[in-house]
Amino acid sequence: MAARMWSSALTLCLLISALPGGEPAQPDPQYMMLVPTLIHGGQDAKLCFLLSHLNESISLSVTLELTNQNITLLDKEVTETDEDNCIAFQTPNIETSEVGFFALQADGDTLHFTKRRNVLLKLQQHLAFIQTDKAIYKPGQKVQFRIASLDENFLPVSEHFPVVFIENPQGNRIAQWLDVETHKGIVQESFQLTAEPIQGTYKVIASRNRGQRVEHVFSVEEYVLPKYEVQVKIPPILTIEDQEIQVTVCGKYTYGKPVLGLIKVRVCRKFQQSYTYCPGEEDAVCEELEHADDLA
Ligand SMILES: *[C@@H]1O[C@H](CO)[C@@H](O)[C@H](O)[C@H]1NC(C)=O
Ligand SMILES: *[C@@H]1O[C@H](CO)[C@@H](O)[C@H](O)[C@H]1NC(C)=O
């Protein structure tokens, strides 16, 4: 743990200080503190310090000073020297990013020192998005949706949404869930559409802490499946040499029965060279055929 802390030196700043005065025989008391220069709100963080050549016991306190609060990270009596100490702490949840200070204060009978170091406390920006199981729903169907939250490294995170709701095409809130939390990054909910809902575009909206929103749209439509399908097969290329053309048209109801119908075939040869301005030649040469039959 300590090794990781020390190796990420880029984000840390080092404070080394010799305390004033001292007898020549004994080295001066020294302290060293490693503090992060950037921390995220609502996360685990750590700072370490090392005290050496202490000649008296001191009371040591480390405070994280923010605009609206001071958080005491450490407040203890230190007698031993050459001991390195790390403090793990939870950073506060914040509304906006801010610059704060780590303040170290040590007081003994003769020793008194203070040091402040600024730290950027950054608002953690999670990504959140909503998915529905379909894009279009029919009346009476169940809309299943999930909300996913990821951190800046795309790892799932828990996020609390004060309210999640569904808005109909008229902008009215027709369902809502309070205090929705993504556990391990995901939360799933569902909503039953009525038999005769307003048709159109609906929205699933999740309001986040700090007033942001994420939304996703889906539509509700009364759609009917096609009752039959028609397959047409024609040759990819015809030449003027061809005497016959093989065209196959096949119509079938979805339950398998053939469809009765009329086939109209129009065969055209278009003039490619429209720059030959001979009158009438802009028109294609076409021939029409009709065939009424059972399309099977
Ligand atoms: C400890 O060291 C400081 C600085 O060197 C000195 O001023 C102080 O008198 C010493 N205290 C004791 C108790 O020796
Ligand atoms: C935090 O501590 C500092 C230094 O002691 C002080 O000036 C400040 O007023 C304190 N802030 C709050 C919000 O208590």
Kindly report the backbone phi and psi dihedral angles of residue 193, in degrees, each rounded to the nearest multiple of 5, phi listed first.
-75, 145
pLDDT at 8: 36
**Percent of residues in the chain assigned helix, strand, coil, to nearest 5:** 5, 55, 40
Helix (H, G, I), strand (E, B) or coil at 131: strand
Which residue puts its alpha carbon closest to atom 4 of ligand 1? 22
Which helix (H) or strand (E) is 3 found in, with range? helix 2-7
Ligand 1: residues with CB < 6 A are: 19, 21-22, 28-29, 55-56, 110-111
pLDDT at 12: 41
d(CA 4, CA 222): 59
Which residue puts its alpha carbon closest to atom 3 of ligand 2? 65
| Topology adopted by domain 127-220 | Immunoglobulin-like (2.60.40)
70 lines ligand 2 (CB under 6 A): yes
Mean pLDDT of 132-144: 95
Q: Percent of the chain scored above 70 by pLDDT?
A: 82
Pocket probe for ligand 1: among 110, 112, 113, the residue whose CB has the most ligand atoms within 8 Å is: 110
Atom of ligand 1 nearest to the CA of 19: 4
Mean pLDDT of 71-79: 89
Is the fold of 30-122 the same as that of 127-220?
Answer: yes
Could you state, in order of their start, the residue ranges of all structural domains in the chain? 30-122, 127-220, 228-294
pLDDT at 279: 52
Mean pLDDT of 52-75: 89
pTM of the full predicted structure? Answer: 0.49
Q: For residue range 89-120, what is the model confidence (pLDDT) as tens digits?
A: 988 888 788 999 999 999 999 888 898 999 99
d(CA 144, CA 131): 8
More confident residue, 265 or 200: 200
Q: For residue range 272-296, what is the model confidence (pLDDT) as tens digits?
A: 554 555 555 556 677 777 777 655 4
- Distance from residue 111's CA to the centre of ligand 1 (Å): 7
Q: Are the C-beta atoms of residues 251 and 259 closer than 8 Å to each other?
A: yes
**Pairing verdict, β 112-122 and 38-40:** parallel
Pocket probe for ligand 1: among 28, 56, 79, 109, the residue whose CB has the most ligand atoms within 8 Å is: 56
CA–CA–CA angle 25, 26, 31 (5° rounding):
155
Q: For residue range 12-30, what is the model confidence (pLDDT) as tens digits?
A: 444 444 455 544 567 778 8
What's the gap between Cα 182 and its chain centre? 12
List Cα–Cα distances, 90 to 25, 132, 171, 172, in angstroms. 42, 35, 41, 40
Mean pLDDT of 130-134: 95
pLDDT at 242: 81
Which residue puts its alpha carbon closest to atom 4 of ligand 2? 65
Specify the CATH number for 30-122; select among 2.60.40.2950, 3.30.379.10, 3.40.50.300, 3.40.50.720: 2.60.40.2950
What is the distance between the terminal CA atoms of the chain, rounded to a whole angstrom?
Answer: 75
pLDDT at 10: 32
- Distance from residue 170's CA to the centre of ligand 2 (Å): 50
Contacts of 180 (CB under 8 A, 6+ apart): 147, 160, 161, 163, 164, 187, 189, 206
Which residue puts its alpha carbon closest to atom 1 of ligand 1? 55
Contacts of 10 (CB under 8 A, 6+ apart): none
pLDDT at 293: 63
